[in-house]
Amino acid sequence: MAPESHPLHFLLVPLLSQSHIIPLTDFGKLLAQRGLTVSIVTTPRNFIRYRAAISLAASTGLQFQIIPLEFPCEEAGLPPGCENMDSLTSMDLAPEFFVACELLEVPLLKLMAELRPRPSCIVSTNALPWTQRVADRFNIPRYIFETISCFTLFCSHVLSSDRTQEMIAAAASASEPFLVPDIPHRIELTKAQLPQAKKKSAGKDIETVIDQIKRARSSSRATLVNSFEEIESGYVEGYAKVARTLWCIGPVSVCNKKPAEKLDRGNKASIDERQCMSWLDSKEAGTVIYACFGSLCRISAAQIKEIGLGLEASGFPFIWIVRDASLNAQAEEWLGEEKNSLEERVGERGLIIRGWAPQVMILSHRSVGGFLTHCGWNSTLEGVSAGVPMITWPMFAEQFYNEKFVVHVLGTGVRVGVEVGSDTGDEKSAFVKWDQVKRSIEELMKGDDEEEREEEEERGSWGKGRERRWKEKGLLTRILRC
């Protein structure tokens, strides 16, 4: 039955990146299910990608539409068609990308003037501070939608004070750990793990964008975070004092209940639903490792080989997502083309998906027992929501914060052991060898009780003891109940 129509019209404006569009679309659906009119703004190429998900929601009677605005690639110095951060050929183009986003201000103002019913407010993701000016022009509130955790927000806030900046600057080397002060847990980080701000002479440098984001925060009506209080106790309260008005509205991904909603989320899945489900159904509960590194990571052929060798040597069944941008002839030869390739060696035990996975659908399957993740916040929260423990492999941005959160705050993950971000340029230190991958999978999947592990192996019931051990920590059960 269609919800009662409501005069309020929410205009959602996400940064054009999967990790912003996907959760904001989910949030839009949640609003529309409560009877509100919702419009989400995007660009022509993104319109093609996301319209199926929005049409699916609209077909159930929800007032939910997607509106494309032309994206000024050329004007901003971007190659044509670069309308999403996942299509940037290099992260060095990120400053130009932010310039192009800001050039959407004028077309957005025009759209606002024409839209009926008139938008009652703007909800835009954190990286679009200029949307505050648009809201001010129409005298309506703007709400910030944060795509990172309160843990990260609060730690970054604490670390931005002059006192801690001096402490970080005084650290002898980039790899010397320092303690994050005044937070509920004992968390150590190094300079090499902090998000790197890329500088650029042309266009806008990222530090300027960060400055604008901070200033726009103080003019916004409230901050919405894709998270929930139960897992971030202490950090929600801590950041609420900084943000003044803060609401945790997550995890938004759980609004996807039907298989069709979980399948083509973000992009069209590169695997047929039945093929994926029947492969998962054929595996024992809690035994499959799901390995996926989000929508932006580019992984070298040499690193792909080590990941594959580690998955193979672990002995566990696995689904591994290799995104198009990481695939090249060298990687492809080793994965599937040459004689005795990985696919040939592992056979039915491994499923390699080239392109895009139905992540939420896979994570919610009972056979998945571990998630090898790059620790993007959406992936982290989706893993937590599915009650799946993680092997953490942070690469860049705020992903090291998420690793600390999973391993030291929640206690539902083990580290693969990477110490520096892959964007630090220190390729050697960011490189992970196959035996680290294998060791961390074993640690997660079998726990550390040697005797019990042997018994489990004899009984052929891998995973039961592990599940019990995680539950003893009180974490999975608590998360599953939320």
Binding site for ligand UDP (CB under 6 A): 18-19, 22, 265-266, 292, 294-296, 321, 356-357, 359-360, 376-379, 382
Instruction: Output the DSSP codes for 414-448.
Output: EE----S-GGGS-HHHH---HHHHHHHHHHHHH-S
Nearer to ligand UDP by Cβ, of 22 and 372: the residue is 22
Give CA–CA dist 34/52, Å, rounded.
21
Give 108 or 271: the residue with its C-beta nearer to ligand UDP. 271
The residues pairing with 178 across neighbouring beta strands, listed in sequence order, are 189
Q: Minimal distance in Å, beta carbon 246 to ligand UDP?
A: 20
Residue nearest to ligand UDP (CB): 376
Nearer Cβ to ligand UDP (308/376): 376
Residue 192 or 360 having the CB closest to ligand UDP:
360
Nearer to ligand UDP, 76 or 381 (CB): 381
Q: Compute the least distance from the CB of residue 273 to ligand UDP, in Å.
A: 13
Rounded Cα distance, 42 and 18, in Å: 12
Alpha carbons 85 and 17: distance in angstroms, whole number: 5
Tokens standing for residue 358:
């139905």
- For residue 308, the minimal CB distance to ligand UDP (Å) is 17
Query: From the CB of 109, what's the least distance to ligand UDP, in Å?
Result: 28
Which residue, 314 or 385, has its beta carbon nearer to ligand UDP?
385
Where helices occur in 315-433 by DSSP H, the ranges are 329-332, 342-346, 359-363, 377-385, 399-404, 427-430
DSSP per position, 29-47: HHHHHTT-EEEEEE-HHHH
Residue 37 tokens, joined: 């009119």
16 Rama class: left (phi>0) / alpha (psi -120 to 50) / beta:
beta
Nearest distance in Å: CB 363, ligand UDP: 8
